[in-house]
Structure 1
Amino acid sequence: MTSSASPTQASQKSRLRMIVLQALVFSLFVTLFARLYYLQVVSGDEYHAQAAAQSVREIVVQPQRGLIVDDMGRPLVTNRTSWVVSLDRSVLDKMTDDVREKLVERLAAEVDVRAKRIERQLISCGDAGSVVGLCWNGSPFQPVPVAKDVDQSVALRILEQPEDFPAVVVDQQTVRSYPEPFGINLAHVLGYLSPITEDELDAAEDGGDRSVNGASAVGRAGVEKQYDRWLRGMPGYRSVAVDSMGRVLGDDGEVESQPGDTLVTSIDAKVQGVVEQQLEDAIAVARSEFDSVTGKNYVADSGAVVVLEADTGRVVAMASQPTYDPGVWVGGITKKQLSRLYSERAGTPLLGRATQGQFAPGSTWKPFMTAGALTNGYDRDTLLNCSSYLSVGNRDFKNYESGAYGYITFAKALEVSCNTFFYRVGLDFWQRYGSDVADVDARDPLVQKAKDFGFGRETGIDLPGEASGRIADRKWKRAYFESQKDYYCELSSKPQDDETSDFVYLFAREFCVEGFAYRAGDAVNFAIGQGDTIVTPLQLARAYAAIANGGTLYAPRIGKAIVGPDGHVIRRIAPKKVGTVHVPDRVIGYIDEALKGVTRQGTMAWRMGGFPLDEVVIRSKTGSAEVYGKQSTSWVASYSDDYVVVMMVSQGGTGSGTSGPAVRAIWEALYGITGEDVRPGDAAIPGTVPPAALPSFRRDGSILPPAREDQ
């Protein structure tokens, strides 16, 4: 029989349960109050800051990019105000798809931009559907620019009809402008800007660089790229309060942007204007003249001119053809425009021939070969036969620019540009040191001297994308053979088809067997600047400057100084010496006198008649480089005590014939020459030589020419 609990025991259990429940409730309240105390008192400041951060967003204020000016303070690149139309995505996102679509279409019609393009511009880079070059890299709270350089009437019409264009923001921003003093182009020197890429932005952020942001435009070529970090300035930031829906409620503070620094260049706009015009005229004249070798007019597909200070390596002027308008990048370039800039049919306008074009130097090469010979066993009294041709192996190597002169000196050979004279020099060194065609380490004094003068490597100019040229010596030929032998051996192993010419098929068979061999023909071609050796016009100008200044090689410089927004000089960019040519003064002096002879009675003389050579001494060397399958390349390399002037026209004919008149006109502008009169006051640069001082930058924004010591 089981007994039940007494009433007393039941009451005790009930009270015990109540006590436990009360204790549990009390502990929960204690925990809650402790947590509230922690959140509101202990961590209150931290959470308050986080809440404020969620309601305040930063909008980037882009800085005004620095100016680029010439040596006299003339603006080459400035800034101008542009109407920009943007879309606020935080407002767009609140619209229905139908309303948004109609708004975009209405805006597209106003600003003449396709609606599809606008939609692509609104996508953040990295999101699904984003297109590189169109997607938005900037802040998600910043209006996205969808049309730049909008006509003022269009901008005002949109502003006057806000009810028809909700989410559309219209304001004025600064963009690059090109004043073109003296009508100059200078595109390949100045370069251009384009929006920063996602990878570039990530790299900048990883490196702690706050000078760029998702909406930045950065330099892509020329000095715009080379000196980008100075020119770009530092962005500012405007804080705006937003509500929980992301709508802007008002300003909450601003950090002003810092304008970029000014780049003072060594370019003289007046000289540049003369150089560009003379290059353009020379090409036009060449295209109107008949080439008896090919039976058609000269193509004259490209050209370049370089003017350097002989004693410093500074670039006074540099022009290339074909060229382009750097202004096409302002406001965004179209696919059609970009396609043309890269088009071979249009002449690849983006390629700057002065620093990136590579051409056989022809007879302008001979002074450096003379230096190699006179420092390796030959002397100034050496006489060699300038015959009409020289037989090497089973081939006759002929004179092209001169006739037969019999036994002559190096000076006379330079004066009349005798090929066979230099053929004999190249053949002699090959027979003495390099008749083993497979020996890639054989001594070659001519190759070594070409390297001493800086050929085969970049000059180090302060421009991106410079080409290195090529010295086609034994090591290069071996490397080229190793890289191409499989292709040519396969081609020669098959029966000849209709698409393969006899020449190509025969070449493939010979190359497959002995394409590595450096033969006598290679050596004699090298001695006159033919064959596979190529140089840039800038390399040639730098090497002639070394003859002019006694043997110093400089890294050419365009930048002269960096000046802050307040006008103080931040940094002077000094000439940079990068090497010394090991040639005795007596040899340099001998070459110098010989090149005077080229101007007075040699191959350039017929273009210099009446020029006051007793007052302004010009040394020169002409060249007509043969190119397989093309017309010859016209060259004139020249220098005075102050300057070096080099001109090249690809497929332009003879050196003095095509380039001669233009080079003379440039010299006349540099020294203020009219007829036989030298008038320094008429010179393109006041005082005839570039100023040592910098332009003066005043507080009111005006720029004054540099003061001269002689004034």
Structure 2
Amino acid sequence: MRRPTRSRLLVVHLLVAVLFLVLLGRLWQVQVLDGDRYARMAAENHTRRVVVPAVRGEIVDDRGRPLARDRAAVRVSVDRAALDRLPDRGRAVLSRLAELLGRPREELAARLRPCGPGVNKPCWAGSPYEPVPVAGGVSERVALRLMEREDDLPGVRVERRPVREYPRGTLAAHLLGYLAPGSSGAGRGGAEPTGRDGLEAQYEDDLSGRAGSREVVVDSAGRAVRTVRERAPVPGATLVTSIDARVQAVVEKALKRAAGRVAGAAGSGAAVVMDVRTGRIVALAGYPAYDPSVWTGGIRQADYARLTSEAHGLPLISRAIQGQWPPASTWKIVSTAAAARAGYPLDGHYDCSGSYRIGDRSFRNFGGANLGGMDLHRALVVSCDTIFYRFAHRLWLKDDGAPRPADPMQHMARAFGFGVRTGVDLPGEAAGRVPDRTWKRETWERTRKQTCADARTGYPSVARTDPRRAAYLTAIAKENCDHGYLWTAGDAANFSIGQGDVVVTPLQLARAYAALANGGTLFSPRVGRAVVGRDGRVLREITPPVTGRLPVPDRTLAYIRHALAEVPRSGTAAPAFAGFPLDKVPVAGKTGTAEAYGAADTSWFASFAPADHPRLAVVVVVSEGGTGAEAAAPAAREIWSGIYGLDGRRAALPGGRPPAGLPETTGVSETDGLPAAIGLSGTTGLSGTRGSWDDTGRPR
């Protein structure tokens, strides 16, 4: 018994010895081999990484006038994680903060909610681990009061941050876009606001710069003790645009006046001014508009509801590139070019009768007027419909039953750039539509089930309030249910005068008229002109690419231009241009009146000037504005007068010539930035000089 006992004791001693050796080895590894690493980890428990936001680049017009820029402002943020650790989950802290800020506690609490399905704005779309901004533009007096009560406000931060400013209010709102919190852009620190629409989104990488960082040692109360290391932010570049702020103001004023005459939300529209020689956008506007600064600091739910409300006209929609309407008679430049290419002589004699019958339907001239015989020059001047109905019908008859229809009018429309996006450097552009046989069959197959159901039921909900409209819709549904897949002669007739299913955006129409004016070059328009660094170096020039040439002989283009020059003198636009000095600035243009069942007509006017040596194209559309001469043409006249300084106005663009070169820009050091705060007592930059800003919003 003695020998086994000694053996067991020996084993126990060996195990104890091994354990001591392992422990000593581990201690040696921790203290000697990994000592430096653990020391760093211990130090990191007492350091915080602070994002130093980069100053966002300016957006300026073609003369260097600021359209969007950063300015310094005091911002209050709340650390949600810190509030969650409190016994009442921060309710008392939010109540005290709301009282000091003079805002409802419910509003602050709403800003802390994570965004998601079913969550109304305001809400937080950034990372759940980052402080949430709850108040921007706070006065320094209020900031100091918050700092004095830091012990009562755990988790609350006061920091000096760059805030986006739009010094011209609503001017060019749809062009500029806006900033909103969300996923950070290239180089943006944390949840800094990023471009969400317009130029702010399109040129985010250029404008945002690159955020810096600062690592600071903090004590147990979260107070900054010293800075360990620092990486300076890189400011964003300046975006120089081809927009002229004065012309933009003229355009917006004219558009607002024209659309404002229409009652209710139907009063909407758009306008475009384009340099026909370069493809650059000089002005682009939509109505109704909004002030982009409403997004600064987080948009309120009431403001967001208004911007997305049909009752207020959906102000967020950029109607110049997203609005789509039938182009009506402005489309006749396409039909004229197609007819001439198909062999119909420009100077031929054609009958402008009061109506033209196709099958069992009579297609009427505007107002039923019988204007007698004329050539295509006169047909464009007086905007005869029936001549183009005949062209469309005869070309349709040639294609009917052919294994490979020629569709000459559709081909010409696509050659003019319709049915596809222009490629403008703005997000969200619509493509418009050039309907043809393929499109109609695909649409019929996609909608046949619902169309046939509507034909059977007869729109009972509509019939209760508008029996005539219900009967009309039912008849259309029955026709489409039976043979809606066929491209009929009636479809071709409507297409020839820009009615039916064809739709275009104002920018597409402006590009087409610019191509007509410049001799056939089709551009992909551009708003941006150059990206300029903070040191004044041109980092990148932006040139509108050429996307095609019109397949139209020079003689035909000159013929159409000559005819359009007569429209404001003796044609359909003559009432709108009565008294206008056409001898000084000869304007060529075409009116359009797009009919819609149950609504007032859409008013169009597409133009360019000077007619003999075109430089600019101006297109205006006013939804439910009446005939082209009633709303759009007077607005275009006001724009031309403002550009050239006519009718007693000051010239917004003397001579109608955009500047050839780039404006001078003021560069700043790439180390300029704004300091960020750590807790209340760690706030810096409220009265410091580093990263301070002057009254114009420029870094000192």
Please report the TM-score for the alignment, with normalisation by the length of structure 1. Answer: 0.86
The CA distance in 1 between the partners of 2:275 and 2:118, in whole Å, is 52
1:374 equivalent in structure 2: 340
Question: Given the alignment, which residue of 447, 464, 470 partners 1:484?
Answer: 447
User: Which amino acid is 1:188 matched to?
Assistant: H
- Displacement after TM superposition at 1:477 (Å): 1.4
On the 8 A contact 1:136/1:214 being kept in 2, the answer is no
**Which of residues 690, 698, 701 in structure 1 aligns to 2:658?**
690
Counterpart for residue 520 of structure 1: 489
- Per the TM alignment, residue 597 of structure 1 is displaced from its structure 2 partner at its CA by 1.7
Matched residue type, 2:138 = V
Query: What is the CA distance between 1:298 and its match in structure 2?
Result: 9.7
Cα 1:499/1:76, change in 2 over 3 Å: closer
Q: 1:158 aligns with which of 120, 136, 146?
A: 146
Residues 440 and 475 of structure 1 are in contact (CA less than 8 Å); yes or no, is this contact kept in structure 2?
Answer: no
What does residue 452 of structure 1 align with? Answer: 415
Q: How does 1:27-42 map to 2 (within 5 A)?
A: 27-42=18-33
Deviations 1:404-435 (A, max 9, x none): 2212111110011011111111111111223x
Aligned match for 1:633, one of 594, 602, 622: 602
Aligned partners of 1:700 and 1:247: how far apart in 2? 32
Shift of 1:194: 0.7
The residue type equivalent to 1:643 in the other structure is L
- Return the offset for 1:123: 6.4
Structure 2 equivalent of residue 707 of structure 1? none
In the alignment, structure 1 residue 279 sits paired with structure 2 residue 255: yes
Residue 608 to residue 508, structure 1, CA distance change in 2 (3 Å): closer
After superposing the two structures, state which structure 1 stretch, 165-174 or 571-580, moved more. 165-174
Question: Is the 1:300–1:649 Cα contact (8 Å) retained in structure 2?
Answer: no
Q: Is the 8 A contact 1:122 1:136 kept in 2?
A: no
1:345-364 maps to which residues of 2 (within 5 A)? 345-364=311-330
CA 1:445–1:352 in structure 2 vs 1: closer, same or farther (change >3 Å)? same
2:525 equivalent in structure 1: 556
Describe the shift of the 1:125–1:256 C-alpha distance in structure 2 as closer, same or farther (beyond 3 A). farther
How far apart, in 2, do the equivalents of 1:611 and 1:519 lie? 43
2:479 counterpart of 1:510: yes
Instruction: Tell me how far 1:656 sits from its aligned partner.
Output: 1.8
Distance 1:494 1:685, change over 3 A: closer
Given that 1:621 and 1:636 are in contact with CA atoms closer than 8 Å, whether structure 2 keeps it comes out as: yes
Matched to 1:225, the amino acid is A
What is the distance in 2 between the residues matched to 1:622 and 1:114? 53
The alignment status of 1:576 with 2:545, answered yes or no, reads yes
Match for residue 260 of structure 1?
236
Give the Å deviation of 1:119.
Answer: 4.3
Whether 2:591 is the aligned partner of 1:622: answer yes
Alpha-carbon offset, residue 309 of structure 1: 0.1
Equivalent residue number for residue 80 of structure 1: 71
1:108-507 correspondence to structure 2 within 5 Å: 108-119=98-109, 121-122=111-112, 134-135=123-124, 137-138=126-127, 140=129, 143-180=131-168, 185-196=171-182, 200=183, 211-242=187-218, 250-284=226-260, 286-287=261-262, 301-400=267-366, 403-434=369-400, 436=401, 441-494=404-457, 497=460, 499-500=462-463, 501-507=470-476
The residue aligned with 1:532 is: 501
- 1:709 corresponds to: none
The answer on whether the counterparts of 1:69 and 1:75 sit within 8 Å (CA) in structure 2 is yes
Secondary structure of the residue that 2:269 maps to in structure 1? strand
State the match for 1:292 in structure 2. none
* Pair 1:620–1:14, CA change in 2 (3 A): closer
The aligned amino acid for 1:428 is R
1:653 counterpart residue number: 626
| Kept in 2: contact 1:184–1:269 (CA 8 A) | no
C-alpha distance in 2 between matches for 1:498 and 1:215: 47
CA spacing shift, 1:412–1:387, aligned 2, 3 Å: same
TM-superposition CA deviations, 1:139-190 (whole Å, max 9, x none) = 84x543222233554334323444543443223322111111xx76211111
> Per the alignment, in what secondary structure is the counterpart of residue 653 of structure 1?
coil
Asked whether the 8 Å contact 1:133–1:195 carries over to 2, the reply is no
Residue identity opposite 2:546 in structure 1: K
Distance 1:497 1:278, change over 3 A: closer
Residues 231, 243 of structure 1: alpha-carbon distance in 2 compared, 3 angstrom cutoff? same
Shift of 1:694: 0.8
| 2:641 aligned partner | 668
- Identify if the C-alpha distance between structure 1 residues 552 and 522 changes in structure 2 by more than 3 Å, giving closer, same or farther: same
3-state SS in 2 of match to 1:697: coil
Deviation at residue 683 of structure 1 after TM alignment? 3.1
Structure with more contact order per residue of length (Cα contacts < 8 Å, sep ≥ 6):
2
Where in structure 2 are there 5+ consecutive unaligned residues?
Answer: 464-469, 670-693, 695-700
Distance 1:143 1:279 in 2: 42
The one-letter code of the counterpart of 2:419 is G
SS of 1:148's partner is strand
Query: SS state of the match for residue 349, structure 1?
Result: coil
Q: Is the 8 A contact 1:90 1:246 kept in 2?
A: no
Kindly tell me the number of residue pairs found equivalent between the two proteins.
Answer: 660
Whether contact under 8 Å (1:113, 1:147) holds in the other structure is no
Q: How far apart in 2 are the matches of 1:566 and 1:247?
A: 36
Q: 1:152, 1:29 → 2: CA distance? A: 62
Helix, strand or coil at the partner of 1:173: strand
8 Å contact kept, 1:184–1:276: no
Map Cα deviations across residues 103-157 of structure 1 (whole Å, 9 max, x no partner): 221212332444355446556789x9999962473484x5432222335543343
The question of whether the paired residues in 1 share the 8 Å contact of 2:458 and 2:474 is answered with no
Residues 377, 34 of structure 1: alpha-carbon distance in 2 compared, 3 angstrom cutoff: same
Q: Equivalent residue of 2:57, what SS?
A: coil
Alpha-carbon distance in 2 for matches of 1:652, 1:423: 25
Query: What's the counterpart of residue 673 of structure 2?
Result: none
Aligned-partner SS, 2:324: coil
SS of residue in 1 equivalent to 2:590: strand
Of stretches 131-140 and 408-417 in structure 1, the one that deviates more from structure 2 is 131-140
* Counterpart position of 1:291: none
Contact 2:120–2:301, Cα closer than 8 Å, also in 1: no
Deviation at 1:333, TM superposition (A): 0.8
Query: For the residues of structure 2 that align with 1:612 and 1:494, how far apart are their CA atoms?
Result: 58
Deviations 1:582-610 (A, max 9, x none): 11111111111111121332222333344
- Contact 1:371 1:583 survives alignment (8 Å): yes
Separation in 2, partners of 1:44, 1:176: 47
Retained in 1: the 8 A contact 2:52–2:189? no
**TM-score, normalising length from structure 2?**
0.87
User: How many Å separate the matches in 2 of 1:528 and 1:125?
Assistant: 48
- Find the residue that maps to 1:493 and give its secondary structure: helix
Superposed CA offset, 1:470-519 (max 9, x none):
11222221122111110121233357857442222222222211111211
C-alpha change, 1:15 and 1:153, in structure 2 (3 Å) is closer
For residue 224 of structure 1, report the CA deviation from its aligned partner: 0.6
Question: 1:592-637: CA deviations, max 9, x gaps?
Answer: 1111121332222333344343443321111111112111111111
Letter in 2 for 1:589: A
Which of the two has higher C-alpha Rg?
A: 1
Which consecutive residues of structure 1, in runs of 5 or more, have no partner in the other structure?
288-296, 703-711
**Paired residues of 1:191 and 1:220 also in contact (CA < 8 A):** yes
Whether the 8 Å contact between 1:263 and 1:559 is mirrored in structure 2 is yes
Amino acid at match of 1:317: A
